Structure 1
């Protein structure tokens, strides 16, 4: 499969928002928890308190994995600083739109940071229109994609 077509399928599958399971690791201790993600400009973001354990883990070891349903992504966590300092406030605007309850409960705190997960490798498990299973492997570093039929 062509790399650009695979990327389009990947971002279409993610949509605009997802609750995703984020795995972090520090000193060979792996933890996982759900985070409320926003996907825009072909990038994946979530916010978290800079004092949380997951934040300390991903700052010390930015290698993370994140998944939802059949989409599994390995990547690097990038800290973009305080959410309230983001130019244009795009994240905050979309967060209010899609996660209103959370936005209202934790608005504009000066401890919330914006984290981007930059993908390195994605594995998608899916089915085609005939219900035949397949895996779609996307390597962002090599800019390659491969569709593998699954029996």
Structure 2
């Protein structure tokens, strides 16, 4: 990671570093739950507008779970995101078709195999709380907690020197 224990990160700095670490796209594990039935699966995510986006078929089991309970968690490496999912409608109906353009650019194989104009929807995840595991330059572990609702950042050392 590029976070530094030596820095006093503001919320805006931590948020910028978090999205910088994710880059343009990642395959992330998505966890969702309805009535204490938990599911996890990989989704191809894009990052823009300070949110996380993925597409899915409007009739898949995961989509039906999201309709009932929009609270989700996403994970990639040492980054966990807790947030709220929102159905933004069909990919082809998005104004400006930003998602479609980015998906073609970064995930062409998936776009080419799994694009069904009549059933593929965009899911937007608004981060609420992010936990980042990182290590200092001298190999000590620590956690960075980014609270999007409170706009606060907490750095917590895990290892003691």
Task: Calculate the TM-score normalised by the size of structure 1.
Answer: 0.96
Where does structure 1 differ by over 3 angstroms across 4 or more consecutive aligned residues? none
The match for 2:66 is 58
Determine the structure 1 residue equivalent to 2:48: 40
Quick check: 1:15 aligned with 2:23? yes
* Aligned counterpart for 1:142 among listed residues 129, 150, 160: 150
CA distance in 1, matches of 2:83, 2:115: 28
Q: What is the alpha-carbon distance in structure 2 between the residues aligned to residue 93 and residue 126 of structure 1?
A: 32
**Structure 1: 5+ residue runs without aligned partners?**
none
Greater shift, 59-68 or 98-107, is seen at 98-107
**Retained in 2: the 8 A contact 1:83–1:108?**
no
Q: Measure, in 1, the Cα distance between the counterparts of 2:124 and 2:17.
A: 20
Structure-1 separation of matches of 2:55 and 2:73:
16
Query: For 2:93 and 2:39, how far apart are their aligned partners in 1?
Result: 28
What's the counterpart of residue 102 of structure 1?
A: 110
Task: Show the counterpart of 1:93.
Answer: 101
- TM-score scaled by structure 2? 0.90
| 1:52-72, Cα deviation, whole Å (9 max, x unpaired) | 000000111000001100000
Question: Which 10-residue stretch deviates more, 103-112 or 38-47?
Answer: 103-112
Runs of at least 5 residues in structure 2 that lack an aligned partner in the other structure? 1-8
What is the number of residues matched between the two proteins? 151
RMSD in angstroms over aligned alpha carbons?
Answer: 1.0
Local SS of the residue matching 1:109? coil
Q: Per-residue CA shift, 1:11-64, capped at 9, x if unaligned?
A: 111111000000010111000000000012222100000000000001110000
